[in-house]
Chains A and B, each alone.
Chain A
């Protein structure tokens, strides 16, 4: 099945550090979304981006919709232990709401 290229695959950081992850696609999307998934749970929406070039923040999280509409990044500032989880990007395009997900980034934060 189709998946977006997401990097890095995993990150092991110290509490307080900033984190950056990105997602690239060969296709253009109208919407980019970032989700966080905890073990045994469904993905929880963090940030939604609707316009090319858009930069949106949600607390310590900042995400941008790339100008080419083929990429997006997510930054987490001053990480805390509860940031641990798997982060997924997802692209949504055309007239349907079918989401194409990235391969995921596993984030581990050491107190």
Chain B
């Protein structure tokens, strides 16, 4: 069974631009969560999508948004990029989400904002 895939793996943008990252979950998984990883803040939860609906959200500004498609693939968008948005963005999928459903991570997208 293929794992979680994320595209692109690396991205360089400049301040003020916007970016869209993509995540394809493990086949059969319907929940997709996004995390931001930085040296200073560690791994922080962004949001979770299930059945095309945002089910849970972390403490990030509205510039960070996402969506999920009917095939469970998810995209994350960051508008008006700031230098501090440079990070590894990780996507994780699980079958149904919920409190005991194990999450499996993709390799991440390394975003650099110049």
- Contacts A40-B108, A97-B56 aside, 19 further interface pairs with beta carbons under 8 A come to A1-B42, A35-B105, A42-B6, A42-B90, A42-B107, A45-B102, A45-B105, A92-B100, A96-B48, A96-B55, A96-B97, A96-B98, A96-B99, A97-B48, A97-B99, A97-B103, A98-B45, A101-B43, A102-B42
Mask of B37-58 contacts with A, CB within 8 angstroms, 1/0: 0000111110010000001101
The interface bits of chain A over 2-20 (1 if a CB of B lies within 8 angstroms of the residue's CB, else 0) are: 0100000000000000000
Within 8 A of A (CB), among B53-109: 55-56, 58-59, 90, 92, 94, 97-108
How many A-B pairs with Cβ below 8 Å?
A: 80
Task: State the majority secondary structure of interface residues on B.
Answer: strand
Closest Cβ neighbor of A3 among chain B residues: B42
- A108 CB to nearest chain B CB (Å): 18
How many angstroms from the CA of A35 to the CA of B3 in the assembled complex? 16
Flag B7-49 by CB within 8 Å of A: 1 or 0 each.
0000000000000000000000001010100000111110010
Interface size in chain A (residues, C-beta < 8 A)? 29
